[in-house]
Structures are given as structure tokens and as C-alpha cells.
């Protein structure tokens, strides 16, 4: 399991004073960038130099408790499955202070050539990282 | 069915040059604000004056095609169910120019007193609007 | 003077419950996109097809009153000057309901070839639009 | 001088593939949150518990070079002046890899009671932090 801490930022909340529901996906994305960091050049080189991306094809979110400004979200990411061209991640977002579960996000991504948006087999280095 | 057009904004895309996956939820939220506009004072009065919100408890997104800068997303929102304290929306996002389906979002919200974050029955005016 | 109305969106506010200071620049950008709409293909074609952009080189903002969720910002844009490769815009943001001045933004942009980020003379159609 | 490193995030760029101009202000805000962290409870407690904020009244930005995805912005923040109810910060944003100056931001904020939005003298602990 990969753990990533993400403080709620000042402008992450909405007019209801809780973290806007779309931002939970941003937090998961930030966790993936951190998880991919050991790849050479990290996530950015994957996008910029290898023309490789991991767009989501399916996302399911169960929201269980709100996050507020002042909280830190702890994102616990588990790799559920590495397929031929797809990867399934399950992210559990907890409020760091008391470990309350705020959301569970199941995210299916497809390894994709960005210039064509065609699926491509999960590259060896990424597979090794995720299965390691 | 309620229809809402949302041009992709300049900063909605990400480094892969397609609309960032979390923003699809923003587009659905914008559609809901427009759908709720006939309520007295609209969505804003609901939040600011009635202490009432509709936080999501469950969201499922199937991403089928990318949106790019220059596209307009047409969000077609259908009310699948109005329960006692919950509402189920299904949003189909199409690229306006050619009607290609870009995503389907199923969103379950709970009518909630914001100051306590406790569920509250769907108010009559909202129920009438959604069932109308 | 060009006038553009931009409702404050649900997630535009910050934890202090007022529109986040950086978003005032987003509102000005949205006004520019609307102002450029009469160009063939609009702002998007300028970026996507003509490889032309108008990055800012200088921005000054005087914040005078807050905007809140439920407000609409009226952006009044005046073209102060069209130079050889630069354009100066002055945006006055008012709260629509009572015309209170919320901010004045002076923005200097440079017409730029995006692939090289080199300045390029203001194209004729844009100059005609802005001087018209 | 206070130094804060902020990697460019995946969705920070715009359709011109450079960091969106409004986000430079977000980066400065993030630097301020980090700078204020030694206050008891940090920036969040200031907002949530002390009803104290530091809204900007004036911002000037000179944009000198673009930031791209893959870059990290180093924000160097200098306190230019601590007045009775106002503070002047000057942020220099550099690209971490080569120290190229990307922007200089001069930001004037006013210490403010958030519930009334009235100016209030700079509190002693904040003054001590900024003058220390």
C-alpha cells in the first residue's frame, strides 16, 4: 500500500465549507503522481517524453465523511490489478488526525499513447513498480 | 431531461491536453446549479439562506471519449429517482459538435442540513421541480 | 467597453468564504475569451489552429470589495492600448446586483507564437476587433 | 527570505501548455501558508479559530518566463514591510532546475477580521514571525 498525505488547501473547499466533491479525484491523482515518482523522470517524463498517459475510464467514489480546511487527507493507494493495458487502483482517503474514512475511490486507468489516445500495454517499468 | 451546455475553458485541460478527469464532476455540478435555478434564489439561496446542500455520497463515472479545449460539453441530466432524503441523477456528457458520448456520470446526493451535515427530507419545492 | 457576466461558482470561494483572489484573474480571462469570440473560431481556434496566444506579461489588481457565492461578477473590459505586439486591457469587476466595484485589473498581454513563445505582431483581425 | 518549492501539477497548465497565469497567485498563496505554519495551528487555525484572514488588496505580477508541467516552482518570499494593518510580500518564482526567474509578485495584504471584513492590527505573533 502506498501512502500519500495531502493537506486540504485554502481554495479546495466550496460554498458549503467542505472540500468540493470533484477535488477528491484531484487528491487521488496527486497520489498517483507520487506513486509514479520512482519511474525515471516520474509522471512528468511519462507524459512529456514518453507520450504515455493513464487516463481514467471508470471511477467510483463513495463519500463517507467531509474534509475541511485544516484537515490533511491521507490517501492510501492499493493496486488492485495490473492488466494488459489497464490498471485498477483503490484509494482510501482518511482524515489524518483521526483516521476517519472520508472516501473510497476505485479508479480504472488505461495505459495510453497520448498523441493517438490508443491503449498500449502497461510498460515494463510501470508494471514492475506496481507489482513490486 | 435537462440540458446544459458548458464550453471547455482554457484552463480545464491538463498536461495531456484533454479535460482533466476531475473536471467532469465540475461540469455535472454546474448542470445541477442550472437545473436548480427555478428554485427561489436558486442553488445559492439554498446554500446561503436555507442551510441546505446536496453533497454527493456516491459517484460513478464512465469516461468514453476525451473533451478538448474548443469543445463544448452538452450535459444531459436525467433524474433517475427522488427518495426520501436522496436523489439520483444520471448525467450524459456529449461533445456538442458531433454528439459523441464522452462520459456518463451517475450521482447520488443526499439533501443535507449544512450546519450539522445531517440528512433532511427532500424539500417540497425541490421535489416538485425534480418530479415536474 | 465590453461587458461579460460571470456568476460566482460554488467552488470559486475559499475557506474565508469569499472568492479566492487568484480567481479574479480567471474571470478576466473568461471575459477575454468572450471578447475574442467574434474572431473566426474564437479564442480556441487562435490557440489550437493559429498557434497564437496572448500570455500576460504584467498584471495589476486592486481588490476593493469581496465577491461571494450567489453574486455575479460583471466584468467591464476596456482596451487601453493596442501596440505592435502587446495589448493593454483594463477590467473593472463589479458585483452585478448593486454595481459595487470589486476589483480593477490592468492586464498587459503579448501576442505570441505558442510553439516558440516568441512575440508576433498583433494580427489584423484581432487589431480590427479591438480597435473597432 | 522564505523558500517554498511547489511542483507544477498535472492540471495547472492551460491549453497553451504553460502554467495558467492565475495559478501563479495560487503558488504565492501556498508559500504564505507554509510561511505562516509556525503560528500555533498554522494558517488554518488563523482562519478557522481566530476569525483572522489576510485578503489581498493589491497584487502586481511581472511574468518573465513560463512554467511547464515537470517544472518545480521555487517561491522565494521576502517580507518588504509590516505596517499597522497591512503586510507587503515580494515573491520571486524561479524554475527550480535552472533558477530562471519566471515571475515577480508584489502582494499587499490586510490583516482582517473575517466575519466583518474589517482591518485589524497585525497580531503580535504574526508580526514577530514576519520580523523575525
C-alpha span between C103 and C46 (Å, rounded): 28
Q: Which of C22, C48, C64 sits opposite D25 (nearest CB)?
A: C22
For C56, the closest of D21, D44, D55 (CB atoms) is D21
Spatial strand order in the sheet of A112-113: A52-53, A112-113, A118-119
Per-residue pLDDT band for A132 (boundaries 50, 70, 90) equals confident
3-state helix, strand, coil in chain C (%, to 5): 20, 40, 35
Flag whether residue B125 sits within 8 Å of chain C, measured between CB atoms.
Answer: no
Chain D, residues 79-108, CB within 8 A of chain B, namely: none
pLDDT at B125 > cutoff 90: yes
D15 contact C CB<8A: yes
Flag whether residue A29 sits within 8 Å of chain D, measured between CB atoms: yes
Our CA-based measurement puts residue C66 at a distance from the nearest CA of chain A, in whole angstroms, of 14
Whether complex ipTM tops 0.85: yes
Other CB atoms within 10 Å distance of the CB of residue C124 = 8
Say whether B29 and A22 touch across the interface (CB within 8 A). Answer: yes
Query: Does residue B28 have a pLDDT over 90?
Result: yes
| Interface contact C56-D63, CB threshold 8 A | yes
Whether the CB of B69 is below 8 Å from some CB of chain C: the reply is yes
Contact B13 D10 (CB under 8 A): no
Question: Mutate which of B16, B47, B67 to disrupt the A interface (most A C-beta within 10 Å)?
Answer: B16
- Predicted pLDDT at B121: 98
With an 8 Å Cβ cutoff, is A5 touching chain C? no
Bridge partner residues of A82 (DSSP): A87
Provide CB contacts within 8 A for D85, sequence distance 6+.
D110, D111, D119, D120, D121, D122
Residue D64 banded pLDDT, cuts 50, 70, 90: very high
Can you give the pLDDT at residue D132? 82
Report pLDDT digits (tens) over B64-100.
999 999 999 999 999 999 999 999 999 999 999 999 9
**Residue C129 has what pLDDT?**
97
Rounded to whole angstroms, the Cα distance separating C98 from A108 reads 48
For A14-62, what is each residue's pLDDT tens digit? Answer: 999 999 999 999 999 999 999 999 999 999 999 999 999 999 999 999 9
Whether residues B15 and D20 touch (CB distance < 8 A) is answered with no
Q: Does B67 touch chain D (CB under 8 A)?
A: no
Q: What is the pLDDT of residue A108?
A: 98
**pTM of the predicted model, to two decimals?**
0.96
Could you give the dihedral angle defined by the CA atoms of residues B54, D45, C12 and A44, in that order, rounded to the nearest 10 degrees? -100
- Coil vs helix vs strand at D101: strand
Contacts (Cβ under 8 Å, ≥6 apart) of C86: C57, C108, C109, C110, C111, C119, C122
Q: Does D53 touch chain C (CB under 8 A)?
A: yes
Task: Identify whether the C-beta of residue D126 lies closer than 8 Å to the C-beta of residue D39.
Answer: yes
Q: Which of D20, D69, D70 is the closest to B11 by Cβ?
A: D20
* Positions of chain C with pLDDT lower than 70, given as ranges: none
- Please name the residue that has the C-alpha cell 515577480: D104
Nearest CA in chain A to B59: A61
Select from D35, D46, D29 the least CA-distant residue to D131.
D35
Q: How far is Cα C29 from Cα D24, in angstroms, rounded to an integer?
A: 14
Per-residue pLDDT, B40: 95
Q: Is the confidence at residue B132, as pLDDT, over 90? A: no
pLDDT in tens, A72-101: 999 999 999 999 999 999 999 999 999 999
Q: Under a CB-based contact definition with an 8 Å cutoff, are residues B16 and A33 in contact?
A: no
Give the model's pLDDT for residue D80: 98
Residue B63 contacts C where some CB pair is shorter than 8 Å:
no
> Which of D9, D10, D11 has the highest number of chain B CBs within 10 A, making it the mutation to test binding with B?
D11
Residue spans of beta strands (DSSP E) within D1-126 = 2-7, 52-53, 56-63, 72-82, 86-95, 101-110, 112-113, 118-119
Q: Chains touching chain B at 3 or more Cβ pairs under 8 angstroms? A: A, C, D
Amino acid at each position: 500500500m502506498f501512502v500519500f498525505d495531502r493537506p486540504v488547501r485554502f481554495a479546495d473547499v466550496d460554498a458549503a465549507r467542505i472540500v468540493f466533491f470533484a477535488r477528491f479525484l484531484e487528491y487521488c491523482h496527486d497520489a498517483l503522481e507520487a506513486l509514479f515518482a520512482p519511474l525515471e523522470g516520474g509522471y512528468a517524463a511519462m507524459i512529456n517524453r514518453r507520450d504515455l498517459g493513464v487516463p481514467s475510464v471508470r471511477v467510483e467514489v463513495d463519500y463517507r465523511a467531509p474534509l475541511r480546511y485544516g484537515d490533511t487527507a491521507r490517501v492510501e493507494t492499493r493496486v488492485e490489478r495490473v492488466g494488459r493495458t489497464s490498471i485498477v487502483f483503490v484509494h482510501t482517503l482518511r482524515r489524518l488526525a483521526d483516521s476517519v474514512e472520508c472516501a473510497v475511490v476505485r479508479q480504472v486507468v488505461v495505459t495510453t499513447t497520448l498523441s493517438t489516445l490508443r491503449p498500449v500495454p502497461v510498460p515494463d517499468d510501470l508494471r514492475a513498480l506496481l507489482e513490486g
